[in-house]
């Protein structure tokens, strides 16, 4: 299956963030990153790549929170594509 259209991309990112919000420490910092990504969202893989590129150089708990979000985004993408 090809890349998700932007509307699916935004839906998956928003759902992923909502799903992990209770499990992360840096909600505000991650929300800022998500808001930026929502404006640029053209593909799920692009969003994941962008988040991964931001991981280096951030403190460890934010890095962990970003990993949790990335995993949830990938999980939702796989679940959506298997339908």
Neighbours of 81 (CB within 10 A): 12
Residue 77: inside a domain: yes
Is the pLDDT confidence value at 1 over 50? no
| Residue found by looking up tokens 């799920």 in the block | 44
Residue 24: inside a domain: yes
29-81 pLDDT, tens digit per residue, is: 999 988 888 787 778 898 899 899 989 889 999 999 999 999 999 999 999 88
Is the pLDDT confidence value at 5 over 70? no
The DSSP output letter for 21 is G
> pLDDT grade, residue 6 (50/70/90)?
low
Domains: count for the chain: 1
What average pLDDT does the segment 19-38 reach? 90
- Is pLDDT larger for residue 4 or for residue 63? 63
Q: Which domain holds residue 54?
A: 6-81
Q: What pLDDT, on the 0 to 100 scale, is given for residue 80?
A: 85
Q: Is 57 left (phi over 0), alpha (psi -120 to 50) or beta?
A: left
Residue 45: inside a domain: yes
């Amino acid at each position: 299956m090809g890349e998700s259209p932007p509307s699916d991309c935004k839906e998956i990112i928003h759902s992923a963030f909502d799903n992990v919000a209770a499990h992360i420490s840096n909600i505000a910092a991650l929300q800022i990153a998500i808001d930026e990504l929502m404006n640029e969202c053209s593909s799920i893989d692009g969003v994941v790549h962008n988040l991964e590129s931001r991981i280096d150089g951030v403190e460890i708990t934010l890095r962990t929170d970003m990993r949790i979000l990335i995993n949830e985004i990938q999980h939702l993408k796989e679940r959506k594509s298997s339908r």
